[in-house]
């Protein structure tokens, strides 16, 4: 099986579940549910759900549980996109070729939709239906809260805003990436281990894989911004350089950044050795991250 087929399959399953989890309601509050549906159903690659599902599969977790946790992590990811796109933040009008949530609805509804998705991510994780035998693993909820909060994604976004007016060095950029996007990618992989009652050594291996993968992902992102063409990437290129923003590419240069990404990819895969062939879908993801064109 190729990564494209596997990724499509996971995306299809998580999309169906997201639709089920966000049914229309009879009341004026349906508008916020509309916006939550809009924000989650915009056709993302569903990389985080893929990571969660395939980490859980290492431990033979039934897919119905992994899928629910995957839907929760995608809700959290989509909330962060909705809030990051707001006029007060990145002020983006387009996301994946469609109007952003505050453009398709309005700013107040977009703020509430983000709040609603963040809250619902916790609702799903704390639901016995998400856990084998209905035994809720509270450490799953705790891990998501840590990854999403001020010491994770929210803190990372704060640093990112600060970086617009301040010079970052390579250490600071690495830390920014680790908080802003790395923590949630690490959670996606760790969550499979938690649901699967993995040993601490196995959980740490998954987290290490995720850290290297997430950093490689960001470096490739910076490379695409520096050299990709707008038609393939689906977004304006050179935006970072124009904004005078320090990136891995602006500091390392294109060649060293590319070498670094490759090295991180090898390192990521080395953490999967203990899982044997069962971890192939995670190895495919490494390849996908390194070779993606958008």
Binding site for a second copy (CB under 8 A): 25, 27-29, 31-33, 36, 79, 83, 86, 88-89, 106-109, 111-112, 114-116, 118-120, 122-123, 126-128, 136, 138-139, 141-142, 144-146, 148-151, 154-159, 161-163, 166, 175, 179
Please report how close the Cβ of residue 20 comes to a second copy at its closest, in angstroms: 15
Pick the closer one to a second copy by CB: 7 or 118: 118
Query: Which residue number, 180 or 283, has a Cβ lying nearer to a second copy?
Result: 180
Q: Which is nearer to a second copy, 97 or 135 (CB)?
A: 135
The backbone torsions φ and ψ at residue 155, rounded to the nearest 5 degrees and listed phi first, read: -65, -40
Between 128 and 253, CB nearer to a second copy: 128
263-288 as b/e: b if 16+ CB within 10 A? ebbebbbebbeebeeebebbbbbbeb
Burial class (CB in 10 A: 0-12, 13-18, 19+), 76: buried
3-class DSSP assignment, residue 80:
helix
Q: Half-sphere exposure (CA, 13 Å, Cβ side) for 167?
A: 3
Distance (Å, whole) CA 53 – CA 189:
8
Q: Which is nearer to a second copy, 5 or 142 (CB)?
A: 142
Residue 40 CB, nearest approach to a second copy (Å):
13
Q: Which is nearer to a second copy, 51 or 153 (CB)?
A: 153
User: Which residues neighbour 254 within 8 Å (Cβ) at sequence distance 6 or greater?
Assistant: 223, 226, 227
Quick one: 150 or 239, whose CB is closer to a second copy? 150
Contact 225, 249 (CB under 8 A): yes
- Radius of gyration of the chain from Cα atoms? 18
Least Å distance between CB 102 and a second copy?
8
Q: Report, in Å, the least distance between residue 156 CB and a second copy.
A: 7
- The answer to whether 71 touches 49, Cβ cutoff 8 Å, is yes
CB of 179 vs a second copy, minimal distance in Å = 7
- Do 176 and 200 meet the contact criterion of CB atoms below 8 Å apart? no
Task: Please give the Cα distance from 237 to 91 (Å, whole number).
Answer: 17
CB of 5 to a second copy, least distance (A): 34
> Two tokens at 121?
């991510």
Q: Which two tokens stand for residue 125?
A: 């994780």
Nearer to a second copy, 143 or 210 (CB): 143
* Cβ at position 152, least distance to a second copy in Å: 8
Q: Is 88 helix (H, G, I), strand (E, B) or coil?
A: coil
Query: 290: closest CA among 265, 269, 268, 271?
Result: 265
In the complex, least distance from residue 49 CB atom to a second copy, rounded to whole angstroms = 20
């Amino acid at each position: 099986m190729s990564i494209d087929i596997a990724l499509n399959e996971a995306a299809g399953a998580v999309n169906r579940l997201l639709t089920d989890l966000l049914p229309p309601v009879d009341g004026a509050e349906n508008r916020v549910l509309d916006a939550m549906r809009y924000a989650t159903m915009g056709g993302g690659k569903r990389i985080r759900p893929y990571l969660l599902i395939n980490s859980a599969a290492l431990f033979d977790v039934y897919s119905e549980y992994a899928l629910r946790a995957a839907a929760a992590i995608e809700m959290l990811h989509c909330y962060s996109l909705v809030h990051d796109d707001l006029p007060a933040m990145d002020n983006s009008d387009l996301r994946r070729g469609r109007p952003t949530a505050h453009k398709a609805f309005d700013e107040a509804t977009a703020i509430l939709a983000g709040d609603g998705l963040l809250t619902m991510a916790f609702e799903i994780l704390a639901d016995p239906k998400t856990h084998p035998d209905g035994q809720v693993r509270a450490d799953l909820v705790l891990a998501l809260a840590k990854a999403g909060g001020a010491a994770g994604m929210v803190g990372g976004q704060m640093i990112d805003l600060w970086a617009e007016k301040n010079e970052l060095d390579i250490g600071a950029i690495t830390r920014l990436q680790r908080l802003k996007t790395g923590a949630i990618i690490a959670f996606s992989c760790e969550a499979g281990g938690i649901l699967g009652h993995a040993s601490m050594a196995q959980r740490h291996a998954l987290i290490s894989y995720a850290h290297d993968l997430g950093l490689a992902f960001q470096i490739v992102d910076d490379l695409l911004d520096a050299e990709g063409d707008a038609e393939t990437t689906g977004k304006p290129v050179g935006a970072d350089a124009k904004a005078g923003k320090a990136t891995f590419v602006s500091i390392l240069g294109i060649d060293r950044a590319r070498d670094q990404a490759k090295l991180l990819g090898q390192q990521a895969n080395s953490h999967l050795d203990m899982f044997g062939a069962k971890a192939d879908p995670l190895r495919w993801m490494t390849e996908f991250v390194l070779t993606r064109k958008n």
